[in-house]
């Protein structure tokens, strides 16, 4: 059928006549449709294309079920020792130097401790004098302190006459004099 020189397609649908525009050329393309952004604007939204894209994001979904455990990984390499890390920081020295370097500053003094129990009474100087092999009264001891006995010098001893083991000899060392028997002197010198 022709109307005003244009061919129209006709089809019978449910006994009625339907008329449509002539078809485009075979395998032709139609006009471009509206973009999703343009449709979004027509729906009353406003904003840039980025606003449109951002609006497409929905609410966060629920967390999924945990997955199966993965295979164990390969063992890692041995880490560096604290000493090796210390050296890597530019320090030099032995492990003993490292240990000395990590010692912290002295702490604050602690609180004083509780007083200890009283000790045993000490010996008097007179008793110590007696224990050293001396004999006499306290007056003799005081006299001995004022004027210690003068023994013979070794140059005054008669080398032909041996000393007896029980003979007493005064030994002066570091300005301290002690009276010892010859046996005690030999034992002292050998210790």
CA pair distance 86, 102, nearest whole angstrom: 10
Q: Tokens standing for 62?
A: 């629920």
160, part of any domain: yes
Asked, for residue 177, whether it belongs to a domain, the answer is yes
Query: Do 52 and 40 meet the contact criterion of CB atoms below 8 Å apart?
Result: yes
As for how many domains the chain has, the answer is 1
Q: Is residue 23 part of a domain?
A: no
With cut-offs at 50, 70 and 90, classify the pLDDT of residue 147.
confident
| 9-66 per-position pLDDT tens digit | 444 444 445 555 555 556 667 788 899 999 989 999 999 999 988 888 878 889 999 9
On whether residue 31 sits in a domain, the answer given is no
User: For residue 163, what are the domain limits?
Assistant: 125-190
Q: Say if strands 2-3 and 6-7 run parallel, antiparallel, or are unpaired.
A: antiparallel
């Amino acid at each position: 059928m022709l109307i005003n020189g244009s061919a129209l397609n006709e089809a019978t649908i449910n006994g009625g006549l339907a008329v449509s525009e002539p078809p485009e050329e075979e395998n032709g393309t139609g006009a471009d449709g509206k973009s999703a952004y343009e449709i979004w604007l027509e729906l009353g939204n406003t904003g840039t294309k980025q606003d449109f894209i951002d609006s497409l994001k929905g609410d966060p979904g629920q967390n999924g079920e945990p997955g199966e455990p993965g295979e164990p990984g390969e063992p890692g390499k041995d880490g560096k020792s604290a000493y090796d890390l210390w050296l890597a920081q530019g320090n030099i020295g032995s492990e003993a130097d490292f240990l000395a370097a990590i010692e912290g500053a002295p702490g604050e003094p602690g609180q004083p401790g509780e007083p200890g129990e009283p000790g045993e009474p000490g010996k008097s100087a007179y008793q110590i004098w007696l224990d050293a092999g001396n004999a006499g009264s306290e007056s003799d001891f005081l006299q001995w302190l004022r004027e210690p006995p003068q023994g013979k010098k070794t140059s005054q001893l008669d080398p032909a006459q041996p000393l007896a083991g029980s003979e007493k000899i005064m030994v002066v060392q570091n300005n301290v004099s002690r009276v010892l028997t010859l046996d005690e002197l030999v034992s002292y010198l050998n210790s």
